[in-house]
Structure formats: structure tokens, C-alpha cells
């Protein structure tokens, strides 16, 4: 286990290193002139030269890369060209909204996906399974921004069930703040449900096919008892790790929803960075999100290893 953790940690560090290199390379080496990319062609030569100097563009790329990386690791992510503030501060200011959005949508998606996923595995090829497969297909095919638009028009506009788009800060009341995130969360959740059903269904199907499931019936358990006491326990592992990974991926997966519902989160920051071609802000945001994704994947992997053997050998140990 220790050996596995160390190996996994090392490969995680390698991936992070590669990601930092890709991010740096794609954003500052390929375009040729990151200063020109940021300021546009109508910038004065003096401003360009000043920015080039401050970004260190007059040095060879590998020197720039290492200087950028060392600063980055020390927490100095530079100042956004557009906002003129520190990139790390800008991200931290907006992180709460995106994380709340991600957590709310998972809280909404998990129960629905769990019920449909488990039932569709137990009643394979029955109507509930057909429903589950339809939900999965539609979930993949319906663009999130379209769903958001329709929901906004219908639930917020026509029915007035939800407040107009925009974020209400916590200071103006917890409930109102949560309410302003509710409809966007529902939209994100609907996109997640299809994906989660797929994971839960297949995990449950393989659990039901295990030999121990036959044993439980031989030992005289009813099928409901067998499902609740044994199959669910063994089926829960894969979804738990997947959900963790989804949570991290949502940091970048809410761009469209944040843009439609006017929520000032990390996704919006990312969009501004792309629109304004703010290379420094973009570098920081991309590194932040992928960094979180890689770390969470690492933790999920370790967690998977920790839960898994207990379930596999738990019976023997107790005996």
C-alpha cells in the first residue's frame, strides 16, 4: 500500500510537471509573442516592449519556463493583465461560488442517479432500465447552455419560481444566496445525472453478478436483503471515486452555466481570461484547475485502494 501510494504520488507529480509544461508551451511559446497576444496588434511598441520585459519574453523559453515555474511554486502567480490584480487572489475570490455550485449540483444529482442507477441494474431491460438509458443518451446530447436557457425562460421567467440571474452574496441572507444558485445547480445536475447513472448502473450490475450474491440467496436471504446488505456495499466504491473526480472537473465544467446565470465564479474568470487573451490570468487559472483535478484524482485513487481490500477481505478477517 505504501509502495503503491508513493508510485502513484510520483506519477501524479510527473503529470503535474507535464501539465505545467503544456500550459506554458501552449500559451506562451506557440503564439510566438505572448505580449502581442495579450495586448493586440494596435498596442504601442513601448507598451509591448515593457510587457515583454516584465514577462521576461526576451529570454530563451526554457529560462522563462523555469523562472515561471519557480515563481509559481512559491505562490507568486503574477498580476492579471486585465484586472491588474494578483491571479491567486482573483481565483480565491471566485472559488466559493463555483465550489458551492459544484457541491449543490452533486447533492441534487447523486440521489436521483443512485435510485435510477440501482433500480435499472436490478430490473435490467425492464422499463426503468429503458428510462435510465434514455436519460443517459439525452444527458449526453442536450447542450448544457440550451437547457440553461430554456430553464431560465420557463422556471425563472414565466413561472417566477427562481430569482432573476445573478449571484446574491451570503451577507444578504443565506437562503437568498442559496436560492440564487439553485436553478444553475439544477442545470448542472441534470448534465451529471446521465453520467452518474452510467457509473452506478454498471457498478451495480457487476456487483450483482458476483459469486457471493448467489451465496446470499443459498443462505436464505431475500433478494431485497441481499441487495441492501451485500450488493450495494460492493457497488458503492467505483461511484464514490468517480464522484470525487467529477467534483474537481466541475471547476471548469460550469463555464457555460456561470455565464448564462451571471455568476461571478472561476468559470467566468476563465472566460474573461480567454476573451481578453490575458495570458498570465489564463496560465494561473488553468494551472489551478488542473492542479486540483490531478490532486483529487490522486486522493480518489488512494481512497479506492483503501476501501477496496476491506470489502474484499473483510469477511475473512471477521471469521
Q: Footprint of another protein on this chain (CB under 8 A)?
A: 14-15, 18-19, 21-23, 26-27, 30-31, 37, 125, 137-138, 140-146, 149-150, 152-154, 157-158, 248-249, 251-253, 255-256, 259-260, 270-271, 273-275, 277, 279, 282, 286, 289-290, 293-294, 297
Q: 114 vs 268, which CB is nearer to another protein? A: 268
Among the listed residues 142, 250, 121, the one whose alpha carbon sits nearest the alpha carbon of residue 197:
121
CB 94 → another protein: shortest distance, Å?
15
Give the DSSP H/E element, type plus range, for residue 242.
helix 237-253
Q: 29 vs 303, which CB is nearer to another protein? A: 29
CB 44 → another protein: shortest distance, Å?
21
Q: Which three cell numbers stand for residue 73?
A: 511554486
Length of the chain (residues) = 319
CB 207 → another protein: shortest distance, Å?
21
Q: 117 vs 267, which CB is nearer to another protein? A: 267
CB 131 → another protein: shortest distance, Å?
14
Beta bridge partners of 79: 86
Measure the CA–CA gap between 240 and 236, rounded to whole angstroms: 6
CB 19 → another protein: shortest distance, Å?
5
Q: 234 vs 246, which CB is nearer to another protein? A: 246
Q: 114 vs 282, which CB is nearer to another protein? A: 282
- 85 close to 94: Cβ distance less than 8 angstroms: no
Q: 180 vs 283, which CB is nearer to another protein? A: 283
Would you give the DSSP letter of residue 79? B
Q: Which three cell numbers stand for residue 141?
A: 446530447
CB 15 → another protein: shortest distance, Å?
5
Q: 78 vs 234, which CB is nearer to another protein? A: 78
Work out whether the CA dihedral 235, 218, 119, 126 comes out positive or negative: positive
Measure the CA–CA gap between 115 and 193, rounded to whole angstroms: 11
CB 279 → another protein: shortest distance, Å?
8
Among the listed residues 279, 296, 196, 205, the one whose alpha carbon sits nearest the alpha carbon of residue 25:
279
Residue 224, Cβ density class (10 Å: 0-12 exposed, 13-18 middle, ≥19 buried)? exposed
Helices (H), 142-171: 144-151
Amino acid at each position: 500500500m505504501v509502495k503503491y501510494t508513493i508510485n502513484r504520488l510520483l506519477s501524479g507529480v510527473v503529470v503535474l510537471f507535464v501539465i505545467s509544461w503544456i500550459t506554458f508551451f501552449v500559451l506562451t511559446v506557440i503564439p510566438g509573442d505572448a505580449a502581442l497576444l495579450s495586448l493586440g496588434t494596435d498596442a504601442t511598441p513601448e507598451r509591448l516592449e515593457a510587457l515583454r520585459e516584465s514577462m521576461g519574453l526576451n529570454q530563451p523559453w526554457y529560462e522563462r519556463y523555469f523562472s515561471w515555474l519557480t515563481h509559481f511554486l512559491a505562490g507568486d502567480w503574477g498580476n492579471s493583465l486585465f484586472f491588474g490584480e494578483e491571479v491567486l487572489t482573483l481565483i480565491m475570490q471566485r472559488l466559493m461560488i463555483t465550489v458551492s455550485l459544484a457541491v449543490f449540483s452533486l447533492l441534487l444529482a447523486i440521489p436521483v442517479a443512485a435510485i435510477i442507477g440501482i433500480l435499472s441494474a436490478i430490473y435490467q431491460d425492464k422499463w426503468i432500465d429503458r428510462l435510465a438509458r434514455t436519460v443517459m443518451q439525452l444527458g449526453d446530447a442536450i447542450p448544457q447552455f440550451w437547457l440553461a436557457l430554456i430553464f431560465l425562460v420557463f422556471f425563472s421567467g414565466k413561472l417566477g419560481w427562481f430569482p432573476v440571474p445573478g449571484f446574491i452574496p451570503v451577507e444578504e441572507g443565506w437562503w437568498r444566496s442559496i436560492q440564487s444558485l439553485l436553478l444553475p445547480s439544477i442545470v448542472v445536475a441534470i448534465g451529471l445525472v446521465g453520467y452518474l447513472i452510467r457509473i452506478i448502473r454498471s457498478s451495480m450490475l457487476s456487483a450483482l453478478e458476483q459469486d457471493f450474491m448467489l451465496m446470499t440467496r443459498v443462505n436464505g436471504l431475500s433478494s431485497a436483503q441481499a441487495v441492501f446488505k451485500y450488493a450495494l456495499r460492493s457497488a458503492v466504491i467505483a461511484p464514490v471515486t468517480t464522484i470525487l473526480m467529477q467534483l474537481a472537473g466541475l471547476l471548469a465544467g460550469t463555464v457555460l452555466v456561470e455565464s448564462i446565470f451571471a455568476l461571478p465564479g472561476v468559470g467566468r474568470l476563465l472566460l474573461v481570461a480567454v476573451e481578453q487573451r490575458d495570458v498570465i490570468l489564463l496560465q494561473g487559472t488553468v494551472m489551478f484547475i488542473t492542479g486540483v483535478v490531478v490532486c483529487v484524482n490522486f486522493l480518489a485513487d488512494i481512497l479506492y485502494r483503501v476501501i477496496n481490500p476491506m470489502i474484499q477481505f473483510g469477511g475473512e478477517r471477521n471469521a
